[in-house]
A and B are shown apart, each in its own frame.
Chain A
Amino acid sequence: MATSRPIPEHLLPLSAVLGPEVDVATLEKLHALSRGDVTAAINHYFEGTYLTAAIPAPPPGPRPGSIASSPSRQRQLPSRNAADLTLDDLETPQAADSPNQKKRKVHDSFFPKFLGELTIVAYALGGMVKVKAGDQVRFERSKPNPQLQLGRKRGAGSGSASSGWGGRAMKENNVVRFTTMAGFEIGRLQVDTSRWVSKVMDYGLAEFQGTIILAPPILCTGAEIVLTMKCYLTAAAFKALGGNSSAFTGKSKAMANDRLETVHELDLKYRKYAINVLFRELALTPVATNSPAGPRDVNVELFSSTPEESSVANGDEDEEEKEPEVSDKELDVLYEKAQQHGREFEPMDAPLSMTYTLKPYQQQALAWMYYKECSQSKDEHQTLHPLWEEYEFKTEDGQDIRSDDPKRYYFNPYSSELSLEFPTSDSLCRGGILADEMGLGKTIETLSLVHTNKFDRSTLDTPEQAFARLSTSNTAPRRLSPTTLIICPMSLLSQWRDEAVNSSDGSLGVEVYYGSSRDWTDETLIQRDAPDVLITSYGTVMSEYASLIGGQDSSKPTDLEDVRTQNKWKKGSALFNVEFHRVVLDEAHQIKGRNTKTAKACYAIDAARRWVLTGTPIQNKLEDLFSLVHFLRSEPWSNFSFWRTFITIPFESKDKDKAMKVVTSVLEPLVLRRTKSTKDEYGRPIISLPERVIDIEYLEFSEPENDIYQALFKDGKTKFNHYCRAGTVLRHYASIFQLLMRMRQVCDHPFLVVGAHKDKETESLKDGPIHLDELMAKFSGEGEGQESFGASVLQGLKTGAVAECPVCLEDMDGGVLLPCMHAACRGCVVDFLQAQDDAGKQGECPICRQGPITEDDLIEYTTSEVKSEVKSEVSDVVAGNILGGQQGGGSERVIQIRRNNFKSSSKLDALMRHLNRIRKEEPRTKSVVFSQFTGMLDLAEGVLERDGFQFLRLDGTHSQASREKTLQFFKDPDHPALVILISLRAGGVGLNLTAASRVYMLDPWWNYAVESQAIDRVHRIGQVRPVVVKRFIIQGSVEEKILAIQGRKNALASGLGMTKAESQGARMEDLQEIFS
């Protein structure tokens, strides 16, 4: 034995150089002086400086220096006496979302703070050491100084030792040994224990003190030793997770896109694991939680057994497409809480400046919204942040308790943060998600808020002051604007403007910021006479944002700040240069994709009060909701990695319930949602809409239609079966969809598919109406007798004498003129000509037998009353020629005449049957006709014209101005157009079509929700008549199968989401069914 003491491992290199005669104490001192640098230590020794030099504080004291082998470790594991730490020392600049924001002085000697104790079994390594019960032991990591990063405090002098954790491939070392107080090794902890204890020690989260309870008298290798471990939290454990918080703040976008786990993230994961197990092993239970999940089951680990495994599991996180959809049932659960909301608020009346009377539930919404905007600062009762748990410090015998010491501490098992400060769930977000179902009046509710909570304009400059200030000083203008910015889809601009204007007694300034009417600059927006409400479209916001950001990397939100300062005076950036009083996103699911330009543009709008209006906050993914929360800037949920960690990932894995509960807790304070079926406190429905009847009307193909359909179907079936056998169905998805599409189109009208006919058709449509006067001229040029008869017939038409059809003996509506100027119902004549043809005879006039004639010789005419004053307006919107002479009383008889060679279809016939009947029975009832094929709408125009209907049309090709005009006409009860044709896609959102009470769905869509939404455009608040909906379905066709698929919901549905692997099986089934 060369020395009286074994040389600790970390001193071995030094000892090897200096020789055995240098004693351990000297080696220790050298080591400490040189901060672990062997070369420096050797220099110290040979220069003799070590004899006089002071050892840098804190002195390692009597402990063997292994733990203190690097300065950074010394700081992390201070001895109980190293009382030089306050939280302030340790605090790095804090992120806004870190709950322990306020700094608080804790007494110097507060740490390490006793946390709890546990009993463990360890085993001896064998050796000369004798221990007995009651002996204190010291724990140490066997491999000194694994290269760890904790926050940004990386030991400067430890670069050479960067072996341990750099690569995960290396088998990591978990060994924890324990020694006598004098440093003699006794044994090591069992693997289970040391796995987490080692991490706790490595991260400096806690210190351990051991006491031997039971030990065999002779320690042979492997002998069991029973120990108690007392655990003390270090100040370092309470340090804000520096790197962590930065990951959770503004730069989260970059993080979110970068799925690779950084070393830092890995650290976090280990730390999380260690501290959670520590709490579990110490059997600590929270005294309070606010978790919606109730007390956390401490036995459930947040990570699958070891961090290694869990990191692998999370390592291959897929793109978000993989995120499972939220089922309807789950949505119901989510909304349940949000629906309770609002009831606890006393209804609040809108101010007098609002001309509308609010319904009770709308008053409640106003109260809730007003509360969300105003009272949050006054909120006295703070609630514990749902992710945090409150614990009480245990007292250890013999420890002095200072009265000002914290008694409680807070632990976030999700982020592994510890705090002494009360973490509140209070978010700075003023605003929320108004998710009332469509038709309940979100617009009105929002406007009532605008009326109620106005900006105090006296603080703003008048234009004169602004001018004065501009010309006299260079100080940056204040950017506060009194304006409420409303962003909505283009089609709703006018609706918002009208509602806003109508809602007000004139005191509300309402302006539209769209297209060429964008004459608001950031300067005018902050003046006293800025409008109260400025309405703009998503497109405008997006394009302004794009031009503002320009070539810059738009993924970095921080850049905007720079851009703002640079472009302060640049025109065209008004929206982004001011802080609005309030911003409202209507139909906010438009921004559900958080990486879309539109979403980013909306995020960048600055406003103190932020609202989101949508009937469907979650369309199918939980992340839909994230984007809204992010827009609201509701911390901490607005942070993507936070969201992902606590919601997305648990939802993807087994922990669905937990995720749902967390989401509920996110939603609860933010969302107000009522549906049409929501009941008030007396159990009455809050809103009673008139009855709505949805009928499916089954139709049959005509024979030629059936022939075409069957041909297509057979072709499709053959191809499909071929793909099936070849196993390439999924590869040919597009072509199968093409087939399906054509089958569906034939159900509407064969012309949609049969190209040749279509050309002829459009040609004949162009042919258009024939001028009555031309006809009269033609007839007057012929024989004497004919002239008088033809002229008298036409004169009869002009005077409006309704003739009886000579065949069916009924009033002729939609009659035809034969070349001999005899008139009859179109149907009667066509039937007769058909019968003649069947009998092998030439067509002739049923009345005078003049012939031969064919269907193409027929001339259609229709008559209808039109008020003369609207005629001129109509003409440029409504297709069709309107002519005719004046008839008394401001009303004139309009006669439309056109050639008859238009082929109808079963669907169109059914439609016209209904429309004609309605026109006869209830002449003022308006109808909406939906189809997903604009070609079908073209054809419908044809039959409508034929039967003398005036109509309007709305599809994707219309400009905003013409959409506006169209909707206005439709709303006008005096407007002659009773029918509006709308493409299902264009009419899906926002439109208010309550002027109508009849809806005709010409074709079914894969997902019934889309149809239902369209129907709700008519059956929404404001509707006073019962709504009758007819859905036309061709019997025995693909349409019937679509109905069945709609019923099953899983479906090809979800809007052709063709990339989702998991639904492919279901879709195969659907296809097989269709082609069966």
Chain B
Amino acid sequence: MALPKRIIKETERLMADPAPGISATPHDDNLRYFDVIIAGPNQSPFEGGVFKLELFLPEDYPMAPPKVRFMTKIYHPNIDKLGRICLDILKDKWSPALQIRTVLLSVQALLSSPNPDDPLANDVAQHWKENENAAIQTAQEWTRKYATA
């Protein structure tokens, strides 16, 4: 099936005018598959880290949300160890008016403000709730350990 115009347009715009701290590059052999790199936001436990993600646009995109997953290990209450992300717009709050860019910006924002009240990784969330400073410290360690090139 030919690639919908929308995907081509989004890709072009991502390349021409990337969002700060975010890059997304489609695979040559599959234009629905993107290699994504998100820089850890400043003043967050992930600052200085470079996180790799993968993003896939399913067949019924944009009616269905893209699938996004962290490839780089990250210590975050809303991201589990398989890299899966708990973000409402990636699930039932998806709208076709959203785009790759907005999704990735949301992910970036999620790094800035973890939400332990709606956890995916329960142990991390627990840690975050009980001792936020220690949790942040662990996150910083993980970032140094796994997310620095």
Chain A contact residues, CB within 8 Å of chain B: 806-810, 824, 828, 831-832, 835, 841, 846-847, 849
Residues of B within 8 A of A806 (CB): 96-97
**Which residues of the partner chain A approach B96 to less than 8 Å between Cβ atoms?**
806-807, 828, 831-832, 846
Q: Collect the chain B residues with CB atoms within 8 Å of residue A846's CB.
A: 95-97
Q: Is the CB of A809 within 8 A of B5?
A: yes
Interface centre among A824, A832, A841 (most CB of B within 10 A): A832
Q: Is B63 within 8 A of A832, CB to CB?
A: yes
Main SS of chain A's interface residues? Answer: loop
Cβ distance B139 to chain A, nearest Cβ, rounded Å: 32
**By the criterion CB–CB under 8 Å, are A849 and B95 in contact?**
yes
Contact of A809 among B10, B63, B92 (CB under 8 A): B10
Chain B residues whose C-beta falls within 8 Å of the C-beta of A847 in the assembled complex: 95, 97
Q: How far is the CA of A832 from the CA of B63 in the complex (A)?
A: 6
What residues of chain A lie closer than 8 Å to B10, measured between beta carbons? Answer: 809
In the complex, besides A807-B97, A831-B96, A832-B96, 18 extra interface pairs with C-beta distance below 8 angstroms are: A806-B96, A806-B97, A807-B6, A808-B6, A809-B6, A810-B9, A828-B96, A831-B63, A832-B95, A835-B63, A835-B64, A841-B92, A846-B96, A846-B97, A847-B95, A847-B97, A849-B93, A849-B95
Complex formed: what's the CA distance from A1005 to B96 in Å?
A: 43
Q: List 23 A-B contacts (CB under 8 A).
A: A806-B96, A806-B97, A807-B6, A807-B62, A807-B97, A808-B6, A808-B62, A809-B6, A809-B9, A809-B10, A810-B5, A810-B9, A824-B97, A828-B96, A831-B63, A832-B63, A832-B95, A832-B96, A835-B64, A841-B92, A846-B96, A847-B95, A847-B97
* Distance from B123 Cβ to chain A, minimum over Cβ atoms (Å): 32
Residues of A within 8 A of B93 (CB): 849
Could you tell me the distance in whole angstroms from the C-beta of B90 to the nearest C-beta in chain A?
Answer: 15
Question: Closest approach, in angstroms, between the C-beta of A161 and any C-beta of chain B?
Answer: 100
B97 partner residues in chain A, CB cutoff 8 A: 806-807, 824, 846-847
| Most-contacted residue by chain B among A809, A831, A832 (CB, 10 A) | A809
Which parts of B84-111 form the interface with A (CB within 8 Å)?
92-93, 95-97
- Secondary structure class of chain B's binding surface, majority of residues: loop
Residues on B with beta carbons closer than 8 Å to the beta carbon of A849: 93, 95
0/1 interface trace, chain B 8-23, chain A, CB 8 Å (1 if under): 0110000000000000
Q: B31 → chain A, closest Cβ, in Å? A: 15
What residues of A have a CB within 8 angstroms of the CB of B64 in the complex? Answer: 835
Instruction: Give the nearest-CB partner of B4 in chain A.
Output: A808
Smallest Cβ-Cβ distance to B12: which chain A residue: A809
Chain A residues within an 8 Å CB radius of B4: 808
Query: What residues of chain B lie closer than 8 Å to A809, measured between beta carbons?
Result: 5-6, 9-10
B:17-70 near A, CB below 8 Å? 60, 62-64
User: Considering residues B9, B62, B64, B93, which has the most beta carbons from chain A within 10 angstroms of its beta carbon?
Assistant: B62
**Which partner residue on chain A sits nearest B60 by CB separation?**
A835
Q: How far is the CA of A808 from the CA of B92 in the complex (A)?
A: 20
B62: which A residues are within 8 A, CB to CB?
A: 807-808
Q: How far is the CA of A831 from the CA of B63 in the complex (A)?
A: 8
The smallest C-beta distance from A917 to any residue of chain B, in angstroms, reads 14
Task: Return B140 CB to nearest CB of chain A, in Å.
Answer: 36
The residue on A at minimum CB distance from B96 is A807
User: CA of A824 to CA of B4 in the docked complex: distance in angstroms?
Assistant: 17
The interface residues of chain A lying within 8 Å CB-to-CB of B63 are: 831-832, 835
Give bound CA distance, A847 to B94, whole Å.
Answer: 10
Chain B's closest residue to A808 (CB) is: B6
What is the minimal beta-carbon distance from B34 to any residue of chain A, in angstroms?
17
> Which residues of B lie under 8 Å from residue A810 when comparing CB positions?
5-6, 9
A350 to chain B, nearest CB (A): 56
Closest beta carbon of chain B to A974's beta carbon, Å: 33
- Chain B residues whose CB sits within 8 angstroms of the CB of A832 once the complex forms: 63, 95-96
Min C-beta distance of B75 to chain A, whole Å: 32
**CA of A832 to CA of B98, assembled, Å:** 12
CA distance A808 to B96 in the complex (A): 8
Q: Which residues of A contact B95 (CB under 8 A)?
A: 832, 846-847, 849
